[in-house]
Structure 1
Amino acid sequence: MIKLIKPYISFDEVESDFKKIFDSGYFTKGVFVEKFRNEIASYTGAKYAYLTTSATTALSISLKAVGVGSGDEVIVSDFSFPATANVVEDLGAIPIFADVDFDTFNMLPESLASKISKKTKAVIFVDALGNPSGIHKISEICKEKGIPLIEDAACAIGSSEFGVKCGNIADITCFSFHPRKLLTTGEGGAITFNDSKMVDFFDVKLNHGSKFENNKFNFIDYGYNYRMSELQAAMGIVQIKKIDDIVALRNKMRKQFAKQLELYGFEIQKVSEGAIHNVQSLVFKVPKNIIRDKLIAYLKNIGIESTIGTYCLSGTSYYSKKYNAVQKNALYLQEQTITLPCYNDLDVLFVCDKIKEFS
């Protein structure tokens, strides 16, 4: 099977660090976690970084950090994995779905502007499939309105716009290190931000609500265990050094795929001027004469893994029934996009030839 992605890490790269961790007996809250935190902050340019168990927990705690609660409205990009809206729903808040650009797949500024109300407590911008195009424009709107911007950068480690890395643009940024990401720790995530006023909140909330005072832990609030382990952090440290090289390689492959498939009517996800897409996922809109799901099934039968782009959140069974606010562009993209394999030793021409045979 030709897989969608292969991890950019081998056991040999972490074996010695794993041995150090086992020998030390410290599997959490140790030197590797602290080092990886610092590496994330340094790489993104953010002042502060915290590690979490996933991007989902990162998003959830970040919403709490900006005061989102029951009855509040949070405007979310409508083309994303359901976790983006689920964390809003879980807090008793109301996800307001903003439609996305037909070409970049990212939140439309005009859709955002039309959804802002007196109840809007936050905005979640999603770097769709790793693409940061348009985030600065969204940030400008949020600043004008005094609304906190949370970036769901689950897919966007290594992406940037106008020379600024994802992680250093929004008020709070949340990353994922799931196995399908360019940097994986098995599961895991991170939060980055620049506002020193939020440090105490995350220090306490991410450590069961405790604060170390007078040589003892004092539980001053309720909190959570969203901590990453030492083993996971060791994996992350190895990979973050490679991210820029990985992004360059995947962009080279993106051009190769586009050159082949655009001749047959496939339209690649667009990247706006000034943006660098990490190509977390290589996604095309399929020609109108092709039934996307039949193409996915065909590729599977010949040993090539592919999948849909991602989901129209407002069109899922749960959210469409509850809110009846399906967004047109996001729904179209859910039905007409395909994610193709992309990794360093992939035979691009072979995959493209097979797609051409189906076309």
Structure 2
Amino acid sequence: MIKLIKPYISFDEVENEFREIFESGWFTKGKFVEAFREEIKTYTGAKHAYLATSATTALTMALKALDIKSGDEVIVSDFSFPATANVVEDLGAIPVFADVSLETFNMLPEELETKISPKTKAVIFVDALGNPSGIHQIKQICQKHNLPLIEDGACAIGSSEFGVRCGNIADITCFSFHPRKLLTTGEGGAITFNDDKFVDFFEIKLNHGAKIENGKFDFIDFGYNYRLPELQCVMGIKQVQKLDDIVESRNLIRDEYRKHLESLGFEIQKVSDDIVYNVQSLVFKIPTHITRDELITHLKANDIESTIGTYCLSGGTYYAKKYNDIQPNAKLLEKNTITLPCYDGVDVKFITTKIKEYL
């Protein structure tokens, strides 16, 4: 099976550090955790970075840091993985779905403007499939309305807009290191921000509510254990150090697909010249005369893994029944986008030949 993605990490790269960890018996809260945090800060340009078990737990903590409560409204990009809305729903807050561009797949500024109400307490912008197009414009609207901006950068490590890397744009950014991401620690995530006012919150909440005061260890609040172990942080360090090369390689593969598919009516997700795009997922809109799901089935029969672009959150059964506010562009993209394999050495010619056979 030709997979969607292969990890950019091998056992040989981490073997020595893994042995060191096993011999020391120090599996958590050690030097590799701190080193990974420093690598993320240095790479993104953010002043602060904390690790989490996933982008989902990172997003939950971001909302808690902003004191989002039951009944508050949080505007979310509608074309995303359900976690983006689930974390809002979990707190008893109300996810308000903003439709997206049919070209970039990102939140439309005019949609954001129309969805802001007196109950709006935050905005979650999603870098759809790693593409940060428009985030600065969204940030300007948030600043105009005095609303904090959370960047759901689950897919976006390595991307930037106007020369500013994801993780250093929004008030709080949340990354994912899931195996489908181009930087993976198996599972994992990170939170980055620049405002010192959040430091105490994350220091305490991510450590079971504990703090050292006057030389004594005390639990001054309730908190959580969303830690990444040392072993996983070693994996992260090795990949951050070659992340720019990974991004460059994936863009070359993207260009190769375009040569074969755009003449057939496939439309690539758009990015402007101001964007560095990490190509976390290689997604095309399919030609109007074919059925996406049939194409996925055909590719699977030829041992090629593919999948949908991602989901229209407002169109899922739970949110559609509860809020009845399905966004048309997001729904269309859920139906008419396909993700194709992208990693070093992938046989683009074979895959595109099988697509042509289907057509």
The two structures have a TM-score, normalised by structure 1, of: 0.99
Letter in 1 for 2:276: I
Distance in 2, Cα, partners of 1:241 & 1:260 = 32
| Deviations, residues 70-108 of structure 1 (Å, cap 9, x unaligned) | 000000000000000000000000000000000000000
Q: What residue in structure 1 maps to residue 311 of structure 2?
A: 311
Letter in 2 for 1:91: L
Distance in 1, Cα, partners of 2:215 & 2:171 = 33
Distance in 2, Cα, partners of 1:144 & 1:21 = 49
Distance in 2, Cα, partners of 1:122 & 1:273 = 29
More deviation in 268-277 or 224-233? 268-277
Q: What residue in structure 2 maps to residue 255 of structure 1?
A: 255
Distance in 2, Cα, partners of 1:114 & 1:275 = 26
Report if aligned partners of 1:314, 1:326 keep a CA contact under 8 Å in 2. Answer: yes
Q: What residue in structure 2 maps to residue 44 of structure 1?
A: 44
SS of the aligned residue for 1:123 comes to: strand
Q: What residue in structure 1 maps to residue 196 of structure 2?
A: 196
Q: What residue in structure 1 maps to residue 106 of structure 2?
A: 106
Letter in 2 for 1:115: K
SS of the aligned residue for 1:150 comes to: strand
Q: Which runs of 5+ in 2 are unaligned?
A: none
Q: State the Cα distance separating 1:272 from its structure 2 match.
A: 2.2
Identity %: 72
Q: What residue in structure 1 maps to residue 356 of structure 2?
A: 356
Asked whether 1:69 is paired with 2:66, we answer no
Runs of 4+ in 1 over 3 A off after TM superposition: none
Distance in 2, Cα, partners of 1:122 & 1:227 = 26
Distance in 2, Cα, partners of 1:200 & 1:302 = 53
Q: What residue in structure 1 maps to residue 28 of structure 2?
A: 28
Report if aligned partners of 1:125, 1:150 keep a CA contact under 8 Å in 2. Answer: yes
Report if aligned partners of 1:68, 1:91 keep a CA contact under 8 Å in 2. Answer: yes
Q: What residue in structure 2 maps to residue 131 of structure 1?
A: 131
Q: Which runs of 5+ in 1 are unaligned?
A: none
Report if aligned partners of 1:104, 1:272 keep a CA contact under 8 Å in 2. Answer: no
| Deviations, residues 267-291 of structure 1 (Å, cap 9, x unaligned) | 0000023011100000000011110
Q: What residue in structure 2 maps to residue 59 of structure 1?
A: 59
Q: What residue in structure 2 maps to residue 226 of structure 1?
A: 226
Superposition RMSD in Å: 0.6
Q: What residue in structure 2 maps to residue 336 of structure 1?
A: 336
Q: What residue in structure 1 maps to residue 285 of structure 2?
A: 285
Q: What residue in structure 2 maps to residue 141 of structure 1?
A: 141
| Deviations, residues 101-122 of structure 1 (Å, cap 9, x unaligned) | 0000000000000000010010
Q: What residue in structure 2 maps to residue 166 of structure 1?
A: 166
SS of the aligned residue for 2:121 comes to: strand
| Deviations, residues 146-195 of structure 1 (Å, cap 9, x unaligned) | 00000000000000000000000000000000001010000000000000
Q: State the Cα distance separating 1:215 from its structure 2 match.
A: 2.8
SS of the aligned residue for 2:182 comes to: coil
Q: What residue in structure 2 maps to residue 85 of structure 1?
A: 85
Q: What residue in structure 2 maps to residue 151 of structure 1?
A: 151
Q: What residue in structure 1 maps to residue 13 of structure 2?
A: 13
Distance in 1, Cα, partners of 2:280 & 2:105 = 14
Letter in 2 for 1:345: G
Distance in 2, Cα, partners of 1:212 & 1:98 = 43
Distance in 2, Cα, partners of 1:273 & 1:10 = 33
Q: State the Cα distance separating 1:216 from its structure 2 match.
A: 2.7
The two structures have a TM-score, normalised by structure 2, of: 0.99
Report if aligned partners of 1:134, 1:272 keep a CA contact under 8 Å in 2. Answer: no
Report if aligned partners of 1:74, 1:122 keep a CA contact under 8 Å in 2. Answer: yes
Distance in 2, Cα, partners of 1:23 & 1:215 = 30
